[in-house]
Structure 1
Amino acid sequence: MALTMTDVDRFESSRPRLEAIAYRLLGSASEAEDAVQETYLRWQGTDTDRIEVPEAWLTKVLTNLCLNQLTSARARRETYVGEWLPEPLLAGDPMLGPADSAERRESVSYAVLALLERLTPSERAVYVLREAFDYPHREIAGILDLTEAASQQIFHRAKKHVAEGRARAEVDEAAARRIIEEFLAAATSGRTEPLVRLLTEDAVAVGDGGGKVPARARAFEGAVAVATFMRGLFKPGPAQRALAGGPVDLYVTSANGGPALVAVVAGRVFGVMCLEITDEGIAAFRNQVNPDKLERATRQWAATDHGTPLLRLF
């Protein structure tokens, strides 16, 4: 069915919101784009004159497409090589969506996206729609074919799970940058002790190479183990040079609204390391090096001015 220009404009005005919802639900920008495109095809194939509230209709279709995707993704991730981490989005990416409240900023943080992987698909959908986009439970119930009471119960359960994984307060942007600079100085010193002092006792380091870039199958846990790993990671050597394929420029920036190190090789984003920095120290390093999950970041990087690197390795 051919769409009128009004129908097309109506969908395009909703696209940024739909992409932001889909990204939070799926943790993947490319899969979010596919889900939004499939939603457009459904919109194109329906009688739009009979849809009373287009925004609600589009949100319902998109959310249910994402729920189907999440269900199949769980099966795929059982055979994924190594740890699975979300696709990071660099500062300024429109898919990050609204950031006008603490809840909305928190909902797209890399740490929270990783935590959302522990939720069931329905828990994740209710949490995202309520916490990130402030949908009332009455509308969420209509989108997911639930009762309003069930939506409220699912939300409280999901929020509790997320809160349990986010028990410590994070520091502000200026303090985070200072700690990152101290971390890089310690990591390149060749000594473990300065690194240990910057970490929380239960610090973790996780890497996602997707089987295409070497990354440990299990997370490093504990300050000493993480510090030892980081000392080796930042130590120049033939293995690191061969892996990177050239000199690595490190930039301090923001990804998913939080502090991050971006590793760039010849203009290509080679890795994005998202740091979870709390008032107790660095609690987590989540390092995305799967090239399939860095294509959008590379395009975003090329389109923005990022100044000079803080450090060049190898």
Structure 2
Amino acid sequence: MGTDTHDAAGVDEFDGLRPLLFTVAYQLLGSAADAEDVVQDSYLRWRETDRARVENPRAYLTTVVTRQALNHLRTVRRRREEYVGSWLPEPIRTDADAEHDVLLAESVSMAMLLVLETLGPTERAVFVLSEVFGHSFVEIAGMVGKSDATVRQIAHRARAHVRERRKRFEPGAETSRAVIERFLLATQTGDTQTLMDVLAPDVVQISDGGGKVTAARKPVVGADRVAIYLVRLARNGIADMTVEFGTYNALPAVLLRTADGRLDTVQLIEMTGDRITGLYAIRNPDKLRTAELARVLAR
């Protein structure tokens, strides 16, 4: 096999695994931009690898991406601690097909990613690799540089931690469209009573402006407070924006655009039954740069 043919085969092999590698990196980092950087760096390392010595490219590349993501995660944790206001993961546009794999859909939901943020880097990697991607403790031990016994203990702690904080997850469904339309109309018209009808009593609104645009610095909790907050926003100009529907992080989402077409906000809507339980508004322009790029996920 010639060098060019060998290189082409390596590129094809990597590209075939790219959705999986991006999904691993995104779940470990909560940032699409950082995940893309990790995947690209892993590709460069792959090009320099003697692939004849790689028995299992999938396992090998997952290990490379995991280690790169862990190194990156340890460097960004302090920046997130110093973040202005509430920090939310970077939203990713997902096809409706992602909802068909409920485990995958839940693993990239805002609620789950926020729970993962409360884990240490190694705990997060162990949980994601075992619970989402189905790797054995022996495989994970090699990926994170720990013993099998240590990984088992970490997995047990991480699983208990996530279970205590995990919300019930329901993938976006067409039936939610009518509720969301009522929610939007009530917000735009200042109909507080209808808002109270569609919001769960313990609903949480989290806004991420990153200190670069106006956003609530702390989560707004409770149907009455969220309703008042949303009506006030609408009166201050949001009602003048154009509205589009989309699917982000396997959840229904509303996209708000300014008069010149600029994407201003991606608001993900989390529902249980016919009530809205979580609202996640990402307004930080740095997190919206590639928000309209459809992402293919895999596990």
Query: How much identity, in percent, do the aligned residues show?
Result: 42
How large is the RMSD of aligned CA atoms in angstroms? 2.6
Unaligned runs of 5+ in 1: 302-314
| Match in the other structure for 1:258 | 251
Deviation at 1:86, TM superposition (A): 0.8
| Match in the other structure for 2:291 | 297
TM-score if structure 1 supplies the norm length?
Answer: 0.83
Runs of 4+ with >4 A deviation? 97-100
Q: Quick check: 1:104–1:131 contact (8 Å CA) kept in 2?
A: no
Q: Which moved more, 1:193-202 or 1:14-23?
A: 193-202
1:89 paired to 2:92: yes
| Match in the other structure for 2:107 | 107
Q: Deviations over 1:237-285 (max 9, x none)?
A: 4xx27xx9xx521123211111211112333322110111113722211
CA 1:171 to 1:13, structure 2 compared with 1: closer, same or farther past 3 Å? closer
Deviation at 1:16, TM superposition (A): 1.9
Q: Quick check: 1:171–1:278 contact (8 Å CA) kept in 2?
A: no
| Match in the other structure for 2:62 | 59
Secondary structure at 1:77 match in 2: helix
Deviation at 1:205, TM superposition (A): 0.9
Deviation at 1:36, TM superposition (A): 0.8
Q: Quick check: 1:25–1:66 contact (8 Å CA) kept in 2?
A: yes
- Select 1:278's aligned residue among 262, 272, 276: 272
- Structure 2 matches for 1:135-146, cutoff 5 A? 135-146=135-146
CA 1:69 to 1:49, structure 2 compared with 1: closer, same or farther past 3 Å? same
Secondary structure at 2:142 match in 1: helix
Secondary structure at 1:105 match in 2: helix
Partner amino acid, structure 1, of 2:177: R
1:77 paired to 2:71: no
- Select 1:267's aligned residue among 258, 261, 279: 261
Q: Deviations over 1:130-173 (max 9, x none)?
A: 23222222212221123334333333332333333334463761
CA 1:137 to 1:254, structure 2 compared with 1: closer, same or farther past 3 Å? same
Deviation at 1:105, TM superposition (A): 1.6
TM-score if structure 2 supplies the norm length?
Answer: 0.87
1:127 paired to 2:120: no
Q: How far apart are the structure 2 equivalents of 1:152 and 1:106?
A: 23
Deviation at 1:81, TM superposition (A): 1.5
Q: Quick check: 1:168–1:279 contact (8 Å CA) kept in 2?
A: no
Deviation at 1:116, TM superposition (A): 1.3
Q: Deviations over 1:25-54 (max 9, x none)?
A: 111111111001111222223333333322
CA 1:39 to 1:231, structure 2 compared with 1: closer, same or farther past 3 Å? same
- Structure 2 matches for 1:195-206, cutoff 5 A? 195-206=195-206
Q: Deviations over 1:166-215 (max 9, x none)?
A: 34463761332222122112212324333223222222111111121111
Secondary structure at 2:94 match in 1: coil
Partner amino acid, structure 2, of 1:219: P
Q: Deviations over 1:207-237 (max 9, x none)?
A: 11112111121111222211110111122x4
Q: How far apart are the structure 1 equivalents of 2:218 and 2:105?
A: 28
